[in-house]
Amino acid sequence: MSKIQIFDTTLRDGEQSPGVNLNKLEKLEIARQLERFGIDRMEAGFPASSKGDFEAVKMIADTIKNTSVTGLARSVKSDVDAAWEALKGAEHPALHVFIATSPIHMEYKLQKKPEEVIELAVEMVRYANEKFAQVQWSAEDASRSNLAFLATIIEKVIDAGASVINLPDTVGYATPQEYGYMFKYMMENVPNIDKAILSCHCHDDLGLAVANTIAAVENGAKQIEGTINGIGERAGNAALEEVAVAFNIRADQYPFETNLNLKEIKRTSDLVSKLTGMHIQANKAIVGRNAFAHESGIHQDGVLKHAQTYEIITPEMIGLQSNLLYLGKHSGRHAFSDKVKAMGYELSEERLKEAFDKFKQLTDRKKEITDDDLFTILTEVQTDSLAVDKYELDMFQIEYGSTNIPTATVELKTPDKEIVKKTCTGNGSVEALYEALDKLVSEEVELIDFQLSSVGSGADALAESHVKMLINGQQMNGRGTAQDIVEAAANAYLNALNRYVIQSNVDNKKKIFD
């Protein structure tokens, strides 16, 4: 078995998914879960891109101890400096510096000659090496680059101190055969390749990201880059959970080993989906809702007779368990705290109290509290910016029925602690509610997308709402849960708004490739 390192870029490339903007507490929560999942390196963000991202990377670097934390930098000294400032507190800080190497990128985007690109790449790796013990260098758009040129620049950046060479299929254009061949070529044509490891990074524009990743590993790549649920720029990146399970189930074909704990897949996937607001398609491999559902009678009959007739992966392998009930109305603070620890959460006293209060409120309205409910409460509490002035919902009341006009009255506390109240009508209850909220807040708000789902099943399941809104022209997402769907909708609206309020105090987030 050959050992393969896993480099997760959910918090950087994944966060570049359209409409995703995670705050630093959410990023930290995902980072903690990635550590539990057993990844070897995490790319926490792009520190030079914004003050918000800088702070998030720093917080992760200062907290995560068992996983190497890295940050992205363009081939600009100030990017490397910003990354060092954010990462220097990490146990194993690393830098990921990149420059484009394809003819189209060099000519039109960088407007540099190939020799200038080599010079800059070498200079940046040298510069980065003065600060970072580990420097990863990426050839952006490697898969559309000239192989001989790529071999030349790789040899030089290895000499300059790069210990990981990443060859991305930036636009998801390569076929498995081409992508695999590029790795074989570098293994055979870069004289000092034994001084570094090769890494693959695939985008899914043609739906080939996982296949390309595997082709790279079969041809010498020792590190895989990808994201949870395959989120990322455009069609996303290679889904790490798919690669990990493929290696395990088809170990006869793929003699590769990782440090991943497959039982953490479900929870990692749920957390990323919840916090990014990116729903997982029902038929997605490994983590989709239907991945283990057998619909046709013939399949059901087969599975009942012998599970492996139609089931090649067990739900248990990825940590999918039926919602075990541990706590209920009569559970005390002690039992609750034990359960929180058993679920792997580290909550401060203040957050534990808040979580316990929410749990108690829920037990008043819901008979059975499931693991999914607790996961929702704990994630919400853990990512709440507690000591920040923000909008708070004091109360709302909705009147609607089949024969009258839906009318909502909302009372809000503003970040200046002022109490404001408004009544509005709408075509539906949520529209009336949002109309009243729009009138009460001082920001300009436009709703772009609204989604509602349930946490788990049953008539008393928690409702979860995700919204995308333009707030003062900036796209923000928000999520909210409650037992009632309208209250979940109100919470999602305020969550997006408060994110904007908090973020605009820090910095206006800027994506790097726009």
Which of 35, 140, 435, 487: binder of ligand KIV (CB under 6 A)?
140
Q: Rounded to whole angstroms, how far apart are CA atoms 411 and 398?
A: 12
Tell me, residue by residue from 87 to 116, as one string, x for binding to ligand KIV by CB under 6 A and - for no binding: -----------x------------------
Least distance between ligand KIV and beta carbon 392 (Å): 38
- In angstroms, the first-to-last Cα distance of the chain is 41
Considering only residues 9 through 48, tell me which ones interact with ligand KIV, judged by CB under 6 A.
Answer: 13
Residue 98 or 493: the one with the smaller Cβ distance to ligand KIV is 98
* Of 31, 30, 25, 33, nearest in space to 55 by CA: 25
98: partner contacted, choices Zn ion, ligand KIV, none (Cβ within 5-8 A by kind): ligand KIV
Q: How many Cβ atoms from other residues are within 10 Å of residue 428's Cβ?
A: 12
Q: Rounded to whole angstroms, how far apart are CA atoms 505 and 514?
A: 22
Sign of CA dihedral 82, 85, 88, 89: negative
- DSSP symbol at 348: -
127: partner contacted, choices ligand KIV, Zn ion, none (Cβ within 5-8 A by kind): none
Least distance between Zn ion and beta carbon 168 (Å): 6
Residue 201 or 499: the one with the smaller Cβ distance to ligand KIV is 201
Q: Rounded to whole angstroms, how far apart are CA atoms 84 and 270?
A: 31
Q: What is the CA radius of gyration of the chain?
A: 24
Considering only residues 185 through 214, tell me which ones interact with ligand KIV, judged by CB under 6 A.
Answer: 201, 203
Tell me, residue by residue from 362 to 401, as one string, x for binding to ligand KIV by CB under 6 A and - for no binding: ----------------------------------------
In what helix (H) or strand (E) does residue 69 lie, and over which residues does it extend? strand 68-74
Q: How many Cβ atoms from other residues are within 10 Å of residue 180's Cβ?
A: 22
Least distance between Zn ion and beta carbon 233 (Å): 6
Residue 164 or 463: the one with the smaller Cβ distance to ligand KIV is 164
The per-residue DSSP string of 408-422 comes to: EEEEEE-TT--EEEE
* Site size with ligand KIV, rule: CB under 6 A: 8
In what helix (H) or strand (E) does residue 226 lie, and over which residues does it extend? strand 223-226
Q: Does 138 bind ligand KIV (CB under 6 A)?
A: yes
Considering only residues 457 through 496, tell me which ones interact with ligand KIV, judged by CB under 6 A.
Answer: none
Tell me, residue by residue from 10 to 49, as one string, x for binding to Zn ion by CB under 5 A and - for no binding: ---x------------------------------------
Least distance between Zn ion and beta carbon 53 (Å): 16
Packing angle, helices 77-87 and 51-63, rounded to 10: 40
Q: Rounded to whole angstroms, how far apart are CA atoms 405 and 163?
A: 66
Residue 12 or 266: the one with the smaller Cβ distance to ligand KIV is 12
Sign of CA dihedral 426, 432, 434, 436: positive
Residue ranges in contact with ligand KIV by CB under 6 A: 13, 98, 138, 140, 168, 170, 201, 203
Residue ranges in contact with Zn ion by CB under 5 A: 13
